[in-house]
Amino acid sequence: MRFHLECNQLKTTEVLISGSKSISNRLLILKSLYENISILNISSSDDTKFLENALQSIDRNEINIGHAGTAMRFLTALLSYKTTKNIKLFGSNRMHKRPIGILVNSLNELGASIEFIKNSNFPPLLIKPAKMVGKKIRVRSGISSQFISSLLLIGPKLKGGIEIELDDIKTSFPYIEMTINLLKKIGVDVNQKDRIIRVNEHNKIVPIEILVESDWSSASYFYSIVSMADIGFSLTLKNFIKKSIQGDSLVSRIYESFGVSTLFSENKIIIKKVNKSNSFIKLNLSANPDLAQTICVSCLAQKIDCELTGLHTLKIKETDRIIALVNEIKKFGLKPNYSNDSISFRAVPNKLKSGVEINTYQDHRMAMAFACLAVKTDIIIKNPTVVTKSYRDFWSDLKKIGIHFKKS
């Protein structure tokens, strides 16, 4: 399936984005460990649905989590602590190419019993019952912050708690901070100093109701759209707060360089195009790599020179996002330079090509980032349904603001 997108005129309106996928997934794991947690405004994403379904199936012999990378990592830790029988944990072909050895080795060091079924370092996994005990461990944290979050989430249930020494506090660290904040919110004693994180044992919590704030990474696509609009255009996004625990809330500051202002008003934000974009964008996104595709497309659309670094984790996402970006940007006549952790390109003065067909590589963020180009030119998105992985209402929300599509 393909969507042919076009936009005659953007509409100023309100958009309600569902709860943060990252917060929702962490709370689901905590709810499985501490039953008296109530979650409001949970994410409607496929990833969260996969995790919810998997958590309802932990008494089965096999669990298939599909493309849901977060579910694979979080469930590996949870099941290693909770399971009372052997369980096979597996996913899609792409999932079986995403390394998980660092997490597995750390869990086994804590007493877990996890085996690689086919290839060392990769799913599928066989998780056996074991008695885990907390201790101090050192973990390579430069590959994926989710390895650390997985350990932190089960940490308070381990005898003696857990102490983790990180070798890198630059890679996606806001996601680790999110996990720490949620643990503290339910009453767990967590201390972090430099590279050391200490989680104390905590077996029971008082009943608590948690409202999940809306997803800032999903909001980034609307920042991109507003950045391409005429000066004066604005959109309102509901259920966002200024003191967010999401690292991707940094998007509000990043897009100031694209001439977009953010006004916080109660539980919503008004984002408005107030100035021209800068002619050159240079950013280190080691803490916010999920914003890379959106920023690249914003630069492409507005003929802005772009230089992004700190992207090493993009190679083990749903696809190799650096290569995917390079392939699609080339279709517009640009000649991007890239490495294992960076991408850069210089703007070309030519008119933005119309009718370019974008491959999405089974990657939700490729589809959504390039869909924003419809503000400037007609665009074709292949396999558009991939967006449901993180943002189930994306296409209907685009329609609300004046971006229309035809199926083919």
As annotated, the active-site residues are: 290
* Residues 87 and 65 sit within 8 Å (Cβ to Cβ): no
In DSSP terms, 199 is beta-bridged to: 162, 190
Report the candidate in 376, 374, 395 with the shortest Cα–Cα distance to residue 384. 395
Distance CA 26, CA 70 (A): 9
- One-letter amino acid at 147 equals F
* Residues 273 and 229 sit within 8 Å (Cβ to Cβ): yes
Report the candidate in 80, 78, 68 with the shortest Cα–Cα distance to residue 22. 68
Helix runs in 95-144, H state only: 101-109
CB atoms within 10 A of CB 104: 25
Place of tokens 């102490």: 163
CB atoms within 10 A of CB 68: 27
Distance CA 339, CA 377 (A): 29
Residue 47 vs residues 138, 225, 386, 392: alpha-carbon distances, Å: 29, 25, 11, 10
Residue 82 vs residues 158, 190, 243, 288: alpha-carbon distances, Å: 11, 22, 34, 32
The tokens of 220 are what? 């980034």
